[in-house]
Structure 1
C-alpha cells in the first residue's frame, strides 16, 4: 500500500463539502491558504502530517480514513465480530426456547 495524494485530496474535498464549507472557509479553519487547500484536494501536492491531523480533527474523521480510506479500526472490526457472534448465540437460544415451549404445549 502506498500514499496516494490524489485520493486523499478527494476524501478531504468530499468531507469538506459534506460539512457545508467552502475551500476558503475550511482553509481558514485549518490555518492554511485556500490556494494550498485546492492543490491538496486536486492531488497536486501532499499535505504535511501536521495539516492532515488538523484536517482529521476539524472534519471529525480519522487519519486512517484520510490516508487509506479505512473506515473501521481493527478494534471496531473485532467488536463487530463479537457482536455478530452474540447475535447468533441469541438466535440459537430463541430457537431452543421456542422448541421447548412447543413441546410443553403439546
Structure 2
C-alpha cells in the first residue's frame, strides 16, 4: 500500500513537470514578445498552476509557478484524494533573432499557499 501511494505521488509529480513544460511552451509562443502578468497568470491557471512571481525586463521574463497533480492515497481507512505540489522557475530570454527560449528549473521548496 505504501509503495503504491509513493508511486501515485511520483506519477503526480511527473504530471506537474509535464504541466510546467506545457506552460513554458505556451508562454514562449505568446505573440509580441513576453506576455504581461495577467496573460501569464491565465496561462498558468490553464495548466493547473498558480503564478507566484513575475519579473520582466527588456530581454528576459522570469516567473515562478506552483503546479499540482492529484493522486489517490490509500490507507486502512479508505481512499482519499491528495495533491502533490511542485514549483518551477521558468526563465525566458530572447535568443538569436529575438526568439524567446525557455529554461525551466524545479525549486526545492514549494510552499502551499
- Which band: TM-score by shorter chain? under 0.3
Alignment TM-score, normalising by the size of structure 1: 0.28
Alignment TM-score, normalising by the size of structure 2: 0.26
* Greater share of helix: 1
Decide which structure has the larger Cα Rg and report it.
1
